Amino acid sequence: MQPQMVNFSNRIPHRAARATLRALCFVGALLPWTTQAQSQPPVPPLAPNLSLQSGNQPGAQAVPGFWDPRRRPERPDLSRLTVIRFLTETDYPPFNYTGPDGNPAGFNVDLARQLCEEIKVTCTIQMRRFETLLDAIASNRGDAIIASMAVTPAIRARVDFTDPYYRAPGRFVARRDAALKEMRPEYLEGKKIGVIAGTAHEAFLKAMFTDATLFTFQSDDALRQALRKGEVDVIFGDAIALAFWINGTDSGDCCAFSGGPFIESRYFGEGIGIGVRKGNDTLRQALNWALFRTWEKGRYTDLWLKYFSVSPF
């Protein structure tokens, strides 16, 4: 459970070790987020709305919603869809990996299957190396990429994207005996914050938490060990990667999230979407409709809880 967070490009970190961090963002929940205007004072935006799993007891995990119920999409014409060929990555657990039976498995794979059931269309799921996915779509070897691919201007030039189906907030982690319910710049004045050097998380802290002292690290292991040893007061990074660390054996049950999730698209990007061939609006609209329906029926919540035992939110 040692994701690398040295460099930002197109994916999100998790349990497996990574040489690059693909891209981060969380902009969503039940109501659409508003990006902070450049002219406003630098108050870090928080993720304000979290829906809880229905029927849970106090302390149960908060499950975010990524769709606005007031913006219900109309059912598109699905008659022209006969098959959807999904492409995903070969080894990116828990999002996509080869299951014990040799078939594709993971959060992305299960979500693709749910979308196929909603649309009532035959689907296939093929695993490929991440760097080959865009070329495969362009050469008609697949119809849709569901592989934790970030929505960025550069990739938008090659594929069209659905609405985001997940996003990643930035969050602070502290030792359990020092965790707070809220993290504001004034609370961290003079405190030592650890962060991976050269990331959007570092840039965010430099802009928003100007009175804290930043300590930069080159690896996640070094960053997290500094927190365990008390060399820094808190660390800041990708909440999805940190959630897996908190819940894993490597943390030694030392630490917990401190305060709520932060979102800022200027630093962390637009989100994670399903990529389709440029101009394929029929498929894109069908997938957007199916994503909303899957969430509305509670099936997205069930899937989220299956893969995220510690909420990034």
- Residue scoring higher pLDDT (223 or 34): 223
Q: CA angle at residue 150 from 144 to 152, to 5 degrees?
A: 105
- Please give the structure tokens belonging to residue 206: 């430099």
Closest CA to 288 of 296, 302, 104: 296
Average pLDDT over residues 167-178: 92
Assess whether pLDDT exceeds 50 at residue 35. no
Is residue 178 within 8 A of residue 203, CB to CB? The reply is: no
- Please give the structure tokens belonging to residue 82: 């006969």
The domains located in the chain, with CATH, are 83-166+271-307 (3.40.190.10), 169-268 (3.40.190.10)
Per the listing, tokens 């691919």 go with 149
Closest CA to 18 of 10, 30, 28, 6: 6
pLDDT for residue 62: 65
pLDDT tens-digit readout, 74-94: 899 999 899 999 999 999 889
Average pLDDT over residues 23-40: 31
pLDDT tens-digit readout, 235-274: 999 998 999 999 889 999 999 999 988 888 888 878 899 9
pLDDT for residue 128: 96
Q: Which residues contact residue 258 at a Cβ distance below 8 angstroms, ignoring those fewer than 6 apart?
A: 171, 172, 173, 174, 178, 179, 180, 183, 234
- Please tell me the pTM assigned to this model: 0.76
Tell me which of 6-10, 168-172, 233-237, 277-281 is least confident.
Answer: 6-10
Average pLDDT, the chain: 82
CA dist 43 → 36, 40, 114, 166, 168 (Å): 9, 8, 38, 24, 19
SS3 204: helix
pLDDT for residue 134: 97
- Residue scoring higher pLDDT (6 or 14): 14
pLDDT classification of 13: cutoffs 50, 70, 90:
very low
- Residue scoring higher pLDDT (239 or 45): 239
Is residue 29 within 8 A of residue 172, CB to CB? The reply is: no
pLDDT for residue 61: 65
Q: Which residues contact residue 287 at a Cβ distance below 8 angstroms, ignoring those fewer than 6 apart?
A: 115, 119, 144, 162, 274, 276
pLDDT for residue 50: 45
Assess whether pLDDT exceeds 50 at residue 58. no
CA dist 175 → 221, 225, 264, 270 (Å): 16, 11, 25, 30
User: How far, in whole angstroms, is CA 173 from its chain's centroid?
Assistant: 17
Distance of alpha carbon 144 from alpha carbon 162, whole angstroms: 10
Q: Which residues contact residue 302 at a Cβ distance below 8 angstroms, ignoring those fewer than 6 apart?
A: none
- Residue scoring higher pLDDT (41 or 301): 301
* Alpha helices (H) in the chain, listed in sequence order: 107-119, 133-138, 153-156, 200-208, 220-228, 239-247, 265-268, 281-296, 299-307
